[in-house]
Amino acid sequence: GNSVTQMEGPVTLSEEAFLTINCTYTATGYPSLFWYVQYPGEGLQLLLKATKADDKGSNKGFEATYRKETTSFHLEKGSVQVSDSAVYFCALGGSTLGRLYFGRGTQLTVWP
Amino acid sequence: NAGVTQTPKFRILKIGQSMTLQCAQDMNHNYMYWYRQDPGMGLKLIYYSVGAGITDKGEVPNGYNVSRSTTEDFPLRLELAAPSQTSVYFCASHKDGAGTGNTEAFFGQGTRLTVV
């Protein structure tokens, strides 16, 4: 079946630090992979995506590469800002029904 | 652009009460979903719909019902509220089905429900 395992938080960093949030997946077929972000009091927003192996998704300084050999989609940012404080969800798009499978979410707090 | 609109944003229910969580989208999306988000547990799919008149169960449907009489609206009904239904509920819509990756899934702002 489909599942996502995501690095547990919370993660606390100083501004300008390097960020990595690990995500691995189990899937049948060839899924699409996503990172969603949830800012306080808001719904989820798509941060970036990759639809096939070796694709790199990027947005707002965040990057993630679809690694089929390691079944991973780790989120990285070279220099985080206070405004990046949010909950980050790794998600897998299953081919059946078009639904998403989510990881548990990782709370990121960035201090000035 | 309204996107996906959920109401109410907050609600407190007593055990055994009923309520309907409203969800509407103005993007003419066929696919709509209801998820619940429990602390530290990610999002679990409750029900989904692939078009007007078509609904089906997700992972955690017990205690809930849905209907899809129009493309725009996808209400979630709680018939006999229980403390285990305390959660944050998110409605989402997608043009092609969120898993395809071709286009973006849009989420509402959520409904925080507490059952006491």
CB of A105 within 8 A of CB of A38?
Answer: yes
Q: Å from A79 to nearest chain B CA?
A: 26
What is the 8-class DSSP label of residue B96? S
Average confidence (pLDDT) over A46-75: 95
> Residues A66, A68, A73, A74: what is their CA dihedral angle, to the nearest 10 degrees?
-110
Q: Is the pLDDT of residue B96 over 90?
A: no
pLDDT at A97: 64
d(CA B48, CA A96): 12
d(CA A109, CA A11): 6
**Interface residue A73 vs chain B (CB under 8 A):** no
Q: Where are the alpha helices (DSSP H) in A30-85?
A: none
Q: Which residue has the tokens 């129009």?
A: B70
> Which residues on B lie below 8 Å from A32 (Cβ)?
99-101
d(CA A58, CA A28): 25
**Interface residue B63 vs chain A (CB under 8 A):** no
pLDDT at B101: 57
CB of A71 within 8 A of CB of A90?
Answer: no
Q: What is the mean pLDDT of chain B?
A: 91
In total, the C-beta contacts within 8 angstroms joining chain A to chain B are 72
Q: Is the pLDDT of residue A96 over 70?
A: no
d(CA A2, CA A33): 12
pLDDT at B12: 97
- β-pairing verdict for B106-107 and B4-7: unpaired
3-state secondary structure of B48: strand
